[in-house]
Amino acid sequence: MSRPQSPAPSVSQGTFTRAILDAGQPVPEGLLDPEGRPAGRRFSVYRNNVAVSLTEALATAFPVIEKLIGEENFKAVAGVFLRRYPPDSPLMMFYGQQMPAFLEGFEPLKHLGYLPDVARLEIALRESYHAADATPVPPEALQALPPDRLMAARLRLAPALRLVRSRWPVASIWHFNMSEGAPKPPANGENALVTRPGFDPQIIALPPGGGAFIAALLAGESFGAALDAASGAVEGFDLTAVLGLLIQGGAIASIEEGPPA
Partner 1 sequence: MLDATPRRFDALPNRPGVGYKPQHFAEIMEDPGPVDWLEIHAENYMGAGGRPIAQLRHLAERFPISVHGVGLSIGGEAPLDAEHLARLRQLLGWLNPASFSEHLAWSTHDSHFFNDLLPLPYTEATLARVCAHIDQVQEAVGRRMLLENPSTYLAFAESQIPETEFLAEIAARTGCGLLFDVNNVFVSATNQKTDPYSYIDAFPLHLVGEIHLGGHDEDEDDHGAPLLIDSHGCEVVDPVWEMYRYTLQKGGAKPSLIEWDNDVPEWPVLAAEAARADALLAEVPA
Residues that bind partner 1 (CB under 8 A): 4, 7-14, 16-17, 20, 30-37, 39-43, 45-46, 49-50, 53-54, 57, 86-93, 129-133, 159-160, 196, 199-200
For residues 75 and 238, which CB has a smaller minimum distance to partner 1 in the complex?
75
| Least distance (Å) between residue 32 CB and partner 1 | 5
**Dist CA 190 CA 211 (whole Å):** 9
Supply the minimum distance, in Å, between the C-beta of residue 130 and partner 1. 3
For every residue of 126-195, DSSP letters joined together read HHHHHSPP-PPPPGGGTTTS-HHHHHH-EEEEPTT-EEEE-SS-HHHHHHHHHSTTPPPP-SS--EEEEE
Closest separation in Å from C-beta 15 to partner 1 = 10
Residue whose CB is less far from partner 1, 47 or 67: 47
Query: Minimum Å distance from CB 140 to partner 1?
Result: 25
Q: Which C-beta is closer to partner 1: that of 3 or that of 111?
A: 3
Instruction: Give the nearest distance from C-beta 153 to partner 1 in angstroms.
Output: 25
* Torsion angles phi and psi, residue 63, rounded to 5: -65, -30
Q: How many CB atoms lie within 10 A of CB 73?
A: 14
CB-wise, 11 or 151, nearer to partner 1?
11
The residue (of 82 and 212) whose beta carbon lies closer to partner 1 is: 82
Closest of 189, 133, 136, 192 to residue 162, by C-alpha: 192
